[in-house]
Amino acid sequence: MSEFFDGQAVNSAFECAMAGVLFRNLRHLTPPFGPGDIDLFGERGRSPIEAIWVEKGQIRWIGPDRKIPKECRVLREISLEGRTVLPGFVECHTHTVFAGSRSQEFSWRLAGQPYTEIYKKGGGILSTVRAVRAASLGQLAASAQKSVDGFVRQGVTTLEIKSGYGLDEKSELKLLKAIQSLAGPEIVSTYLGLHGLAPEFSTTDEYVDHVIASTLPKLKKTGLAKRCDIYIEKGFFSLEQGERFLRACHALDLAVVIHADQIHRTGATSLGARLSAMSCDHVIHVNDEDIRCLAASSTVAVLLPMADLYMKCAYPPARKMLDAGVRVALATDFNPGTCPSQDLSLVGLLARLEMKMTLEEVIEAYTMGAAHALGLEARKGQLKVGFDADFVVLEGNPSELFYSAGRMPVYRVYRGGVQLG
């Protein structure tokens, strides 16, 4: 493609988006929603917003066709032919970089072996650790890129990926470098060294001490991740170790998220909310006090119902949380153990079927809520002037979203105004 703009040759979609593009002929749907908003967008419903002007990757102007600014006359135009546009999905909790498969372990779990027992015997997370340590950075990145492309096809424009299958410093850094090399959506990396006990250490206390004293300062120096995660769970890391880790991260100005109250109630959700964790994830075994703590904090509850389906456990009390004023996000938790699926449609479908969330709440959780969980709420998750021009163009009516398992009705995906898929 070669077009002329402002006396300069514009040679690529990227350069066009930098110079300016006007998206026209669209219907617009962006959170926060009121109840029943999506019904306004029936086949003949009129959207108050019909055009989006993108410049330098950001939304410069947004509004009805009759109010398009004069300067836009010279811009390249893309007609979206009446389709609905909504903010790109923000997938805020994944373990996308790994090696090997745990399909065998799935059969063991179905035959009655508990997840924590399999780990105790050196399986589970630890079997993925062995496969990751044996793989090269290039192999890890190549296989993860395919999964990343799979997320993009579903409308994901921002993707969080955790390390956590290396455990020792060298392998964790290898994972973080692999994460950094991935292309397509905006990638947010999270260091999850405290995912399990590194085989080099005999106690979790020694390992936590080592991570705090040695790995966190290195992480800070390399800048490979600005967020850290910990798995607080019976048989993994304790609440006390979690608090020590969280305080050490904050002392280095690293943000914290927690795998909290997934299999047992440990009190990790209340701890996270009290100490300003960015998010507490899973949050299944929480009581009313935990929910009150979350509601009074800026911590986001990240709900992962597809992992709950695979683990055959309870779903988190989403309705209670939403009614109490907790900010909620949804994500896949894609990983080889507890959720070997990347299917956003099933996540939203489970939230609607099993967690009493409305379609509006599901979309909001997967855009604005998830942007909050990653601390990106000032530029992601909504279509507003000054925000990143990350959006999904839908095929058909928005009510088709999170309705049919295995199908995301996505026509096109744009990140910074540049088409990804």
For the CB of residue 15, give the shortest distance to ligand NIG in the complex, in Å.
40
Question: Does residue 338 touch ligand NIG according to CB under 6 A?
Answer: yes
- 10-49 binders of Fe ion (CB under 5 A): none
Give the nearer residue to Fe ion in terms of CB position, either 290 or 333.
333
Q: Which of 128, 171, 189, 238 binds ligand NIG (CB under 6 A)?
A: 128
Which residues touch 123 (CB under 8 Å, ≥6 apart)? 105, 108
Residue 184 interacting partner from Fe ion, ligand NIG, none (CB closer than 5 to 8 Å by kind): none
Structure tokens at 363: 């979309």
Contact 254, 277 (CB under 8 A): no
Closest approach, Cβ 334 to Fe ion, in A, equals 9
**Partner interacting with residue 370 (select from ligand NIG, Fe ion, none; CB below 5-8 Å by kind):** none
Residue 163, binding choice from ligand NIG, Fe ion, none, Cβ under 5 to 8 Å by partner class: none
Name which of residues 325 to 344 contact Fe ion (CB under 5 A): 333
The span of 69-77, 174-182, 318-326, 336-344 binding ligand NIG (CB under 6 A) equals 336-344
User: If contact means CB under 5 to 8 A according to the sort of partner, which of ligand NIG, Fe ion, none does residue 301 touch?
Assistant: none
Min dist. Cβ of residue 125 to ligand NIG (A) = 5
For the bound state, the minimum distance from the C-beta of residue 236 to ligand NIG, rounded and expressed in Å, comes to 8
Q: Is 207 in the site for ligand NIG (CB under 6 A)?
A: no
Residues in 54-83 at the binding interface with ligand NIG, rule: CB under 6 A = none
CA distances from 364 to 29, 35, 224, 230, 282 (A): 10, 12, 29, 26, 18
**Local structure of residue 367 (DSSP, 8 states):** I
Q: Which of 261, 258, 309 has the alpha carbon at shortest distance from 284?
A: 261
Q: Which stretch binds ligand NIG (CB under 6 A): 57-65, 106-114, 175-183, 328-336?
A: 328-336
State which of positions 305-324 bind ligand NIG (CB under 6 A): 307
Minimal distance in Å, beta carbon 93 to Fe ion? Answer: 6
Widest CA span of the chain, in angstroms? 69
In Å, how far from its chain's centre is CA 378? 16
What is the total count of residues that contact Fe ion (CB under 5 A)? 1
**Which of 97, 376 has the CB closer to ligand NIG?**
97
246 binds, among ligand NIG, Fe ion, none (CB under 5 to 8 A by kind): none
> Would you state the structure tokens that stand for residue 150, as one six-digit string?
């799979």
Least Cβ distance, residue 196 to ligand NIG (angstroms): 8
Q: How far is the CB of 258 from ligand NIG (least distance, A)?
A: 11
Q: How many CB atoms lie within 10 A of CB 359?
A: 20
Query: What's the Cα-to-Cα distance from 409 to each of 76, 161, 345, 358, rounded to whole Å?
Result: 26, 24, 9, 18
Written in H, E and C, the secondary structure of 231-243 is EECCCCECHHHHH
DSSP 339: B
Query: CB 41 → ligand NIG: shortest distance, Å?
Result: 34
Q: How far is the CB of 397 from Fe ion (least distance, A)?
A: 33
Long-range contacts at 405-411 (CB < 8 A, ≥ 24 apart)? 405/343, 405/345, 405/346, 405/349, 406/343, 406/345, 406/346, 407/345, 408/153, 408/154, 408/155, 408/344, 408/345, 410/153, 410/154, 410/155, 411/83
Q: Which part of the chain contacts ligand NIG (CB under 6 A), choosing from 36-44, 123-131, 139-147, 266-274?
A: 123-131
- Pair of tokens at residue 339: 């959720």
Residues numbered 243 to 272 that lie near ligand NIG (CB under 6 A) are 259, 262
User: Would you say 50 or 160 has its CB closer to Fe ion?
Assistant: 160
In a 10 Å sphere around its CB, with 0-12 CB exposed, 13-18 middle and 19+ buried, how is residue 42 labelled?
exposed
Select the residue interacting with ligand NIG from 147, 190, 335, 342 (CB under 6 A). Answer: 335
Pairing mode, if any, of strands 328-330 and 300-303?
parallel
207 within 8 A of 236, measured Cβ to Cβ: no
At position 333, the amino acid (one-letter code) is D
Given a contact cutoff of 8 angstroms between Cβ atoms, the answer to whether 128 and 165 are in contact is yes
| 3-class DSSP state of 129 | helix
Size of the site for ligand NIG (CB under 6 A): 13
Query: Would you count residue 124 as binding ligand NIG (CB under 6 A)?
Result: yes
Residues that bind ligand NIG (CB under 6 A): 95, 124-125, 128, 231, 259, 262, 307, 333, 335-338
